[in-house]
Structure 1
């Protein structure tokens, strides 16, 4: 919390990080099967590595300290050969507090350089793709 009792702006990045990690590892892992050892490397989403290239956040309404949870909805708005853009809304039943986007880049940890999305990563992300005008947008 900041001095005014609001969720601090940096904390929102943590919320987005937690949602992104859950999405890219737990949800993606469940999409390809329960046992990672049974899934070929080229089909296992994000196992080879991924980094954040960019964040953009619009703070729409202050979120005050409370005990009720908020939800972070996550979807894909853009897919390129070597990057993807994830969109988020941090909200509850009554309000949207933040809209944000993150550009993620698949990364080869051994070679220390960006790589292309694998077929498994692209297939997983396509299942959450929504670039419609109905999807919330940043400016």
Structure 2
């Protein structure tokens, strides 16, 4: 299963050329990640931190008044980290492919922590292959 976040575009997201600035895409990923992880029924309120981002810019996104979709899914679950993979896209165009390594974090103890059984079960529901691997397998 995959999670879809409908991300609004803002005037401030544009660069001098009228395109969404590359740095802004990291904020879009953050908004999608928060929408995914911090829900009333399933959440990571114990805390988490980002350990790594990778982002591949595929095509420029021109500012417009309707949202862009940020589709995300889990590609790896380890004992104390997991990887979220994203595509920022419209139905027929991918603007960005990215991934983020997230580490659950105990803010009281100020150290990383292991993924709980409940968190692992939630993440497993969204486990899927990266889009490139699916294309090769097809």
TM-score interval for Structure 1 and Structure 2 normalised by the shorter chain: 0.7 to 0.9
Provide the TM-score with structure 2 as the length reference.
0.83
CA apart distance, 1:135: 7.0
Q: 2:49 aligns with which of 37, 48, 51?
A: 51
The answer to whether the 8 A contact 1:78-1:131 is kept is no
- Judging by fraction of residues, say which structure has more strand: 2
Aligned-partner SS, 1:13: helix
Looking at structure 1, the residues matched to 66 and 91 of structure 2 have their Cα atoms a distance apart, in angstroms, of 11
Q: Deviations over 1:18-50 (max 9, x none)?
A: 000000012xx335xxxxxxxxxxxxx412110
Residue 25 (structure 1) aligned with residue 38 (structure 2): yes
State the number of aligned residues.
121
In the TM superposition, 1:83-98 aligns within 5 A as 83-98=81-96
Looking at structure 2, the residues matched to 70 and 125 of structure 1 have their Cα atoms a distance apart, in angstroms, of 24
CA apart distance, 1:10: 1.3
Moved over 3 A (4+): none
Question: Cα distance 1:135–1:100, how it changes in 2: closer, same or farther (>3 A)?
Answer: farther
Gaps of 5+ in 2: 1-13
Q: 1:70 aligns with which of 68, 71, 90?
A: 68
Across the aligned residues of Structure 1 and Structure 2, the Cα RMSD in angstroms comes to 1.6
Provide the TM-score with structure 1 as the length reference.
0.82
